[in-house]
């Protein structure tokens, strides 16, 4: 039995992954933005070990979730699922950070940096990462004209960079990125062609499976198959630059 934390697990892919893990007998900890969502998550996944409550749009909220997680004890795996989608208007958090970058990139970075390292880390990315811009000069979209789809693509490229950068820096941890596909969730929309079951499968597999194919690090998967990434994702200098920028913003080194 593994202890697994799934962020953003009150609905959609995160909830689906948590339900599958709990159904397999693993000790799952859910995460929700607020108490109402936490109550909903508990109802949908009653076998969960617990629920962390915290808003990942703020650095204080990220720190609070990490503290709650640490209080429960070390996890064997963490699935960084929480994310904002590509239809978002540009907003700044109370920290003055563009909110898609804050939730999709800074939150998984800071949780990883503050929590006791698990054996496995899984970062949710997207096939849209291939449309991301490998440029860290305007993370907050203050100079560029806002484009929600492009901002989301950037954030998903950065998630792959995080996964690969952590894999290099922390060889004792299996750190991988996953493209779950286009799934009919609240983010993906009703017209998405994939299935929730298929979209949850690979991150669960990477988090707990003893299959040789899952016991790897620094890889990018779609439906349990390793897939090529955007070339920029393999740029070690860019990986290190992103980690350093996140450290500067949060004041916490990875």
Instruction: Name residues whose C-beta falls within 8 Å of residue 56's C-beta, 6 or more positions apart in sequence.
Output: 7, 8, 33, 62, 65, 82, 102, 103, 107
Check: CB of residue 243 under 8 Å from CB of residue 109: yes
pLDDT-derived band at 97, boundaries 50, 70, 90: very high
Rounded mean pLDDT, 230-247: 98
Cα(168)–Cα(152) distance, integer angstroms: 25
Residue with tokens 């995460």: 31
What is the set of active-site residues?
152, 156
Backbone angles phi, psi at 25, to 5 degrees: 95, 10
What mean pLDDT value characterizes the chain?
95
Residue with tokens 């996140």: 246
pLDDT of 49 strictly over 90: yes
pLDDT value at residue 190: 65
List, edge to edge, every strand of the sheet that includes 50-53. Answer: 50-53, 27-32, 3-6, 77-80, 120-124, 174-178, 220-222, 225-226
Tens of pLDDT, residue by residue over 136-191, are 999 999 999 999 999 999 999 999 999 999 999 999 999 999 999 876 766 665 66
Instruction: Quote the pTM value.
Output: 0.96
pLDDT value at residue 193: 60
pLDDT value at residue 195: 80
Residue 76: helix, strand or coil by DSSP?
A: coil
Q: Name the domain count of the chain.
A: 1
pLDDT value at residue 57: 98
Rounded mean pLDDT, 212-223: 98
pLDDT value at residue 62: 98
Instruction: Name residues whose C-beta falls within 8 Å of residue 47's C-beta, 6 or more positions apart in sequence.
Output: 22, 23, 28
pLDDT value at residue 181: 86
Torsion on CA atoms 149, 154, 158, 159, rounded to nearest 10: 10
Rounded mean pLDDT, 23-50: 97
Tens of pLDDT, residue by residue over 66-89, are 999 999 999 999 999 999 999 999
Backbone angles phi, psi at 205, to 5 degrees: -60, -45
pLDDT-derived band at 34, boundaries 50, 70, 90: very high
Residue 209: helix, strand or coil by DSSP?
A: coil
pLDDT of 98 strictly over 90: yes
pLDDT of 133 strictly over 80: yes
**Structure tokens of 17?**
């992954």
CATH number, position 60? 3.40.50.720
Cα(128)–Cα(242) distance, integer angstroms: 19
DSSP output for 218-230: S-EEETTEE----
Q: What residue numbers bound the domain in which 138 lies?
A: 3-250
Beta strand residue intervals within the chain, DSSP E:
3-6, 27-32, 50-53, 77-80, 120-124, 174-178, 220-222, 225-226
- pLDDT above 70: percentage of residues in the chain: 95
């Amino acid at each position: 039995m593994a202890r697994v934390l799934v962020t953003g697990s009150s609905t959609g892919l995160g909830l689906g992954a948590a339900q599958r893990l709990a159904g397999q007998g693993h000790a799952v900890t859910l995460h929700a933005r607020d108490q109402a969502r936490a109550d909903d998550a508990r109802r949908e996944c009653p076998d969960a070990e617990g629920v962390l409550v915290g808003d990942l749009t703020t650095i204080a909220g990220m720190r609070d979730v990490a503290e709650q997680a640490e209080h429960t004890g070390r996890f064997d795996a963490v699935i960084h699922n929480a994310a904002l989608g590509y239809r978002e208007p540009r907003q700044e958090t109370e920290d003055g950070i563009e909110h898609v970058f804050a939730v999709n990139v800074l939150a998984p970075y800071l949780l990883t940096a503050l929590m006791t390292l698990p054996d496995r880390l899984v970062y949710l990315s997207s096939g849209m990462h291939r449309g991301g811009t490998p440029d860290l000069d305007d993370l907050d979209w203050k100079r560029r004209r806002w484009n929600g789809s492009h901002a989301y693509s950037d954030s998903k490229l950065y998630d792959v960079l995080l996964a690969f950068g952590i894999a290099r820096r922390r060889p004792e941890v299996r750190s991988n990125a996953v493209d779950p596909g286009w799934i009919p969730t609240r983010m993906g929309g009703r017209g998405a062609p994939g299935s929730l079951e298929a979209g949850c499968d690979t991150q669960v597999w990477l988090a707990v499976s003893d299959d040789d194919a899952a016991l790897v690090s620094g890889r990018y998967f779609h439906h349990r198959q390793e897939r090529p990434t955007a070339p920029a994702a393999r740029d070690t200098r860019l990986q290190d630059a992103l980690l350093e920028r996140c450290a500067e913003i949060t004041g916490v080194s990875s």
